[in-house]
Structure 1
Amino acid sequence: MNPKIIFSEAAIDKKQTTPVSVPVLTLVKKYQESLRPPTVSEESKIHVDEIASKVAKFYEKIRKIVDWKEENLLRRNAIERILKRSLFGEFSKLNFIFKNNINSIAESLVLELIRGGHLPNDEISQGKIDEVQNVLNKYVYLIKNAFSNTTASVFKFKEKVNFYEWILAIASCEIEEVLSAQIKENALIESMTELMTERIKIIPPELITEEEKILQVYIAVHRTLFDL
């Protein structure tokens, strides 16, 4: 039996008694915090050559025309594209040919993102490279150990490729959060999720748990607002 979803009139009427709801006030507060200038850090910033950066930005503009995507997905797709290229040896087991040093991928990734205009020049701290490397190490470990010698033959090649691409997509999201946390966007998602969860009722209610309901609303909000 499929659950029936309706909007709660009581929840809507309840919110109409106050000029601004709590989720909206929270959203405004977080938005104001995001507008404050960042604290000045003494840590050195990452700088890339301006000429090389202009060439890379031109290339990225051409890619945007050919492979158009929503603005908010461009950086994430760039991260995923770089990871696929850098970790090809791990996927194909041709490490002896594609000798990429896993411990240096984070630095080259960040530099390439800055050159391509996906991150600002002279603003990203050097410490971010170590944070990105820690994220990468986690997912590289998963890639290397996902299929043991005893089970590797059971999975088809296409299934392995799909798994690797899924892992890289998740890694790209986490790396983007490390390099450029979307404070305003996340605040909007959280506020809308809270508002919609209050207004939506599942009939009969026992067909879906409250936790599952919140999760489904959260996913729907991502897809609606930012096409994620």
Structure 2
Amino acid sequence: MNASQPIIRLLEAYWRQPDQAPAHPQEPKVKVQMTISRLAFVYEKIRNVIDYKDEHLIRKNAIERMLKRRLYTEDKKRHFGLLLVEELIRAGYLPNNMLPERVIGELDIIIEKYLRTLLAVAPNRLTKQRRAAVNWILSICATEIEHKLVPQTKQDALVEGMYAVLRKDVDLANDISDPTERDVQVYIAIHRALIKSDWPIIRYHLLNFYLPGWLESDPRAIEYFTQNFNVLKDVIERQVNHPLGDRLFRFVKRFSVLFVILGDLLEKHGQNFQFLIHDQEEFEREIRIACAVRYKKANIRLRRS
């Protein structure tokens, strides 16, 4: 891949607005009655104050909690996607009367493939192995659902851009002889350092890397996963628990601030960024402003922790 291609995609990701195409004005949208939502909203806000994380992680973790609760308390085949979206709206994680109803069907397809895998690899037995499989599968399912509801186009493009720049220049990665494994470890380190991806998000991306067609719900990929679950899980966990992982993360983290600020400037200036970089004085001033804003946010987060 040409190293400039991820950079071009990065610029395009920030120039396109918005991240998710808006629903057509005449298109049916998911609307819920909000009179009973206040308690759910307050409950989730309290959880989020106690457990401060970035917005996408908070929403993903909420989805995972809801999936687990509904998995054990309701008919898994009935309106799972709709009930999940309604609960997310009531809890304030999604806007009301904005999400097109067609997304519900897409969520049902996503949930169905994970439930199929779950039933195949972890039948209804209350064992330690089943609980571990449930947690592993549903955490990845929650990540895919969150990406479907709120696409991470800009964040993913930022990761790809940093990966394209650093891929060949991470000396620590040279200690890994296999080139694919080396690239995967650099990619994981960038995800963790740049956009604070947690392990379920990392596993989600690794699953899509090792199993082409899974994201598209290809029946062949689903069948392969159900039949080779333990093999794929072991491959992914070897990457997650790689002995050089933490060292690479600490190394990459030193450079991540540069791309964080780049993302902030792209977000602020959009297509005008291409003109900004040609005015060195103004460009440096905007960098200082972006750094000050980030510093202020970090102080607020520190006081809240």
- Provide the residue aligned with 1:92 in structure 2: none
2:87 maps to 1:112: yes
Q: Could you tell me whether the CA contact under 8 Å between 1:23 and 1:195 is conserved in 2?
A: no
Write the distance in 2 (CA, Å) between the matches of 1:134 and 1:37: 19
Aligned residue pair count: 194
Match of 1:84 among 68, 87, 91: 68
Gaps of 5+ in 2: 198-305
Structure 2 counterparts to residues 189-204 of structure 1, below 5 A: 189-201=159-171
Whether 1:132 and 2:107 are equivalent positions in the alignment is: yes
Aligned partner of residue 189 in structure 2, secondary structure: helix
Question: Within the alignment, does 1:211 sit opposite 2:180 as a pair?
Answer: yes
State the distance in 1 between where 2:194 and 2:153 align: 15
* Counterpart in the other structure of 1:11: none
- Max radius of gyration: which structure? 1
| d(CA) in 1 for partners of 2:20, 2:59 | 23
The one-letter amino acid of 1:175's match is I
State TM-score, norm by structure 2: 0.57
Deviation at 1:209?
Answer: 2.6
| SS of residue matched to 1:68 | coil
The SS at the match of 1:222 is helix
The corresponding residue for 1:181 is: 151
More relative contact order, 1 or 2 (CA 8 Å, 6+ apart): 1
Secondary structure (helix, strand or coil) at the match of 1:47 reads coil
| Contact 2:20–2:151 (CA under 8 A) maintained in structure 1 | no
Which one of the candidate residues 20, 42, 47 is aligned to 1:58? 42
**Cα distance, 1:78–1:38 mapped onto 2, change above 3 Å:** same
SS in 1 for 2:35: helix
Aligned to 1:8: none
Instruction: Give the structure with the higher percent helix.
Output: 2
Which 5+ residue runs of structure 1 have no aligned equivalent?
Answer: 1-14, 16-20, 89-97
Q: 2-side partners of 1:130 and 1:44: how far apart?
A: 13
